[in-house]
């Protein structure tokens, strides 16, 4: 049975099999979580993303989709890059796209054999998604996935950089999950 957890911390230091990157569609680094992952993971992540852009995703990764690379110097084995929705720019489909980010990321994590996965608060930074709306969507999507695939993962962790985000995600986990922990 999968355990959902919520921690206050730095995504780039998590001892998990896969970390999820809140990437932009270009996949070549940016600000926030994306910039931190590229900086901490090193050039190998950039090079693999560049190859994905050159071959598979020539026009960029669409919102709600995900791709996987190795993790370079990060303590994880893989980085799963997903593009979250920009709030107010998807004709009312933001919630569905945010949920899709989580589902497609978990599909890839399961596909590479990851047993532990860490997510940031996708789209809650420069993409402007209100965290109080995003937290229950993100947690609900993860909970639905692990309910459907109960033995796919040991732990899915939300790693938040601020106490207000931590509180919102902790509340969402407490409301939706029978096996969650808050640290």
Burial (CB < 10 A; 0-12, 13-18, 19+), residue 120, is buried
To the query of whether residue 34 is one of the catalytic residues in this protein, the response is: yes
Q: Which helix (H) or strand (E) holds 43?
A: helix 43-54
Active-site entry in 10, 17, 34, 177? 34
Q: What does the angle CA 159 – CA 162 – CA 150 come to, to the nearest 5 degrees? A: 25
CB of 117 closer than 8 Å to CB of 16 = yes
Residues near 170 by beta carbon (within 8 Å), at least 6 away in sequence = 6, 182
Measured in degrees and rounded to the nearest 5, phi and psi for residue 115 equal -105, -20
Instruction: Report in angstroms the alpha-carbon separations of 154 from 55, 71, 101, 129, 150.
Output: 33, 20, 20, 28, 9
Instruction: Report in angstroms the alpha-carbon separations of 72 from 40, 47, 56, 124, 147.
Output: 8, 10, 21, 25, 31
Residues near 53 by beta carbon (within 8 Å), at least 6 away in sequence = 26, 27, 28, 60
Tell me the catalytic residues: 34
């Amino acid at each position: 049975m999968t355990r959902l957890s919520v921690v206050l911390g730095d995504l780039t230091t998590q001892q998990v099999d896969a970390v999820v990157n809140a990437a932009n569609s270009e996949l070549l680094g940016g600000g926030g979580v994306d910039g931190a992952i590229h900086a901490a993971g090193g050039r190998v992540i950039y090079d693999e993303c560049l190859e994905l852009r050159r071959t598979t995703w020539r026009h960029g990764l669409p919102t709600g989709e995900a791709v996987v690379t190795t993790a370079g110097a990060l303590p994880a084995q893989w980085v799963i890059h997903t593009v979250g929705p920009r709030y107010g720019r998807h004709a009312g489909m933001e919630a569905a796209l945010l949920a899709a980010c989580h589902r497609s990321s978990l599909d890839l994590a399961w596909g590479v054999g990851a047993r532990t996965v860490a997510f940031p608060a996708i789209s809650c930074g420069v993409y402007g998604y209100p965290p109080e709306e995003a937290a229950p969507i993100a947690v609900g999507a993860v909970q639905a996935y692990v309910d459907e695939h109960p033995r796919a993962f040991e732990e899915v962790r939300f790693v938040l950089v601020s106490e207000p985000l931590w509180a919102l995600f902790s509340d969402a986990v407490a409301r939706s999950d029978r096996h969650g922990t808050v640290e």
